[in-house]
Structure 1
Amino acid sequence: MRTRFTVMLGLVAAAFASTVTASVAMATAPVTLDSGFVTDDAGVLSSSEKDAVNSRLSDLAAADGGDLYVVFVDEFTGPSDSVAWTDQTAIDNGLGVDQYLIAVAIDAGQYAVSADQNGPLDDSEIDRVTQAMENGLRAGDWSGAAIAAADAFPGQGGGGDSASGLTWVLVAAAVIAVIILIIVLVSRSRRKKRTAQVTVPDPNDPYASISDEDLEQQAGSALVHADDAITSSRQEVGFAVAQYGDDSTAAFTKVVEAAQAKVAEAFSIKQKIDDEIPDTAEQRRAWHIQIIQLCDEADDLLNENIEAFEELRKLETEAPQALERLKARRAAAEQALDAAAPTLSALGQTYDAAALATVSDNPAQAQHSLSLADAAIAEAATAIIEGKNGEAAFDIRTAEDAVERTEELIDAVTSLGANLLAIEEQIRTTITDLEADIAAAGAMPDTQGHLAPIIARTRSNIDAAQATLQGTARNPQQNLDMLTAANAEIDAALGRVREASEQAQRVRRVLEQRLTQAQAQINTANDFITTRRGAIGATARTRLAEANAAYSEALATQASDPILATERATRAYSLASEATSLARNEVDAFHTGGWSGGWSGGYSSGGSSDLGGAILGGILGGLFSGGGGGGGGGSWSSGGGWRSGGSSRSSTRSSRPSSFGGGSSRSSSRSGGRSRGGRF
């Protein structure tokens, strides 16, 4: 049995009142640590700060410097003694001999370090760790304090014997000398070319040290992760609504809508950057920063509701019942899948490959998703039998998303068939309008011979469209595009002689056609991107978001300004088409190994790593911290169902037992010794 020992340090003089805002402290009993090295129950770290601390502590563990965990809470209670609270948390989470825990109570201005009596650090080294983090705690630099503590571990550059210190000083001096020499040489070579005054970075700008190129990459990555988090969160709310009803989930629905509004604004800014209008470097930089900030705000909205949402679902406590419901849903999805392939085959007898390209592989991808669901369901059933409902909850969530993707892929086939039929109906309506135009044009005097060639071309296009409607391997959208162009041409010729009332009616009919086209194309793009979002980056998503915005504007202005509404509907169709094309290119690149965006983790079943598994992994990457690894938390979502991100500890060192199954090496007795505590 291992024991951890406790000795209180003297009080450290602190400027606590200047760094912590006055508030009513939230009492916090010993907690379950997150899957990474950092647990922020006090909400004092931003996403980027938490990632930075997790990364530093992962490096410490990988370098065999020891495992260091950090937890931020509002106040220590049950027990209220800082060291006793920290030791109890270490025991409850099964920390090992070489694993250390720093706990910080923000509102109470207290901290403590829990260390096992047989741990590799001696008393002086533990003291060095506590001293290193005190300045950061006093300044309210919570992430800096945690990183400073890691740096103070032996061999990490924050302390050590005099010989190693001298070695590092000599190495640092040599490196500095080389850097100075390089700077001098580069400065001399560039001095003659320098024509503009050097801009001094704004010390108040948190992005001052980031280049324009890196800022652009961060903005694109933020958009992708935020969009995936919105999609995943919207699905989670849908699951909860089905289980608990609208009244119980109304607050969560509003949260997702508010976060989605911020992401939509970010996509709109991205569209301004991507459009044909030239922008200055300053404008692009400011817009990229605004995109990152909007995505962070959306992420914060979702993150603030994780705990309440987890409490609502309580999937872990009802895992057996949830598994039975999931099995029934999976069976229904399989029945629908059995009909999908024949449906697609029937469509192939009527339409050409280009018209069906966005759903051509949907049955195969749906079958693969169903296989992934089956594997997760089997694991969940085994976990329930073994009494590991926490692990079962994770598997059930994995299976739920696999079944959800199966349903989406199947629905997309049916939706496309309905869209194609609607387009062909629009073709027939357009032909009727064109026939009327030809008759009207034929009744008009054509003294200069301008109308005759237009009438001939229109007639030729009508004949071609009618022949295609009767044949096979047709492409309705291409035919409608051809007739739309003919319609515009003959409308222009007849415009000056058409009565105002008749023209207005004509505009209304054209608007209806444009709206139908735009809606169909948006549906196609949305179905394709949603079912393959793990392989699709920010640009295609931006086009789709802007298409939705243009379509909404068209609907809003159709009564007051039908001409503007027609223009916006046409733009929506164009943007949705571009979104589909860009998304298909990215998926094709993914197949050939050329795609480098999106989720970088992996969820595998039976060694498979094809597009279906990777895309599902991308979805689950936004649901569970630590990518597709699996672990963390005692419920189905450890900060992941709402937002993607976080870090997982190094796999090269022993880690604490998963909170799903509990630890097997807990100690129930503690007395004075090597743990440390104090105030800041």
Structure 2
Amino acid sequence: MPDGLWWLPSLLVFGAATAALVVGMVALRRGGARRERAALAAGAAAEVRAKGLIVQADNALRDADRELAFAEAQFGADESRALRGAIDSARAWMREAFILQQRLDDADADTAAERRTWTSRIEGLCISAIGALEDAESALAGRRRTERGAHAELPALRAQAGRIARRRVEAEAMLGRLATRFAESALATARGAELRIDASLAAATASLDEAEARLARSEPAADLLGSAGDALARAGRDLDEIDALELALARAQADASEEAAALDGELVAARRERDAQEDPDAAEALGTAIGTGSAAMADRAALAGDPFIDRDRLRACRDRLEVARAAARNAQGRLDGARGALGGAIAIAESQLRVARAAIERGGHPVGADARTRLAEAERQLVIAHQEPDPVAALDAARRATSRASDAEALALYRGF
């Protein structure tokens, strides 16, 4: 090749590479376009579905607007507040859905990813709107069913009020009979229930009268009937409480008799324990509990008119007496345990004292004052252990004597070296 054409091979190489690059880019672009067209075609079904939801939600919104007008005329604005709120929310969601649908319908080309995102958002907005409207309208339909049943519920509640009024008269007669046998304090709960029954009956009657007047004017009355039903239910519970009083009084009398018999037996046992008790504090506490229990037994006749108070007082006295007896038994057990251990503790202390004395004597003059002081204290504590009448205090002294004697021995051995 002539020297003037030395650049020709390089030019051919660069040209071939450029051509290959151009062909590759064209192929890549064509492949991307094919994939984009495929994605757009795949999303077409979802877009059709979204358009159907828009129509469905818009029709539901229009129906709800008409339903709101009927509801406000029938129940008033306050009772229709839930439906109005659902309509406002649905309308806001639908505004956004229409904007997104307009973007999908524009002539400007959109990517498949954008169209999928907008379509999915439209579906979610429409489903939310339809669901909110259906829930609100369902609640309103339930209210209408309740109102339709109000005409049948009113006479049923009137009959229930009549039955409760008759039971109220019977309860008053029963309480009159019980008042001849029991104190007024035993009937206090029932007297309070009587007052509540009268108030509940008055409230129920007023609600029923107003409900009847509203129904006559074709106005809503379910709320008044609900209030009347609640008041009658309260009155019924209070009447049940009064009806159970006679049985409760009889049960309290039987319980009081059982408590009295049990307390009498415990008082006898507690007096024996008090007389045998060596601990003065325990004996005093036991004596106080015995006095309280004896007073409760003596006052039973005065409390015969109120078996509840009689039973509770006897039960409280038994509880206090049981606590005092348990404390006395613990104190006596502590004394008996100390008494049983005292002999061994004194023997140990005496043995340790002998060992300490021997150590001091072997050490002679070098043994210092510390060891001798410990030994003297040990001897003093041993004397206390022999003379102390309280076995617990004597046992403590014997143990202190052993400890001081051990200290004296250790100090004597240390000084001896």
Q: TM-score, normalised by structure 1?
A: 0.28
**Per residue, is there more strand in 1 or in 2?**
1
Over alpha carbons, which structure has the higher Rg?
2
**Per residue, is there more helix in 1 or in 2?**
2
Q: TM-score, normalised by structure 2?
A: 0.43
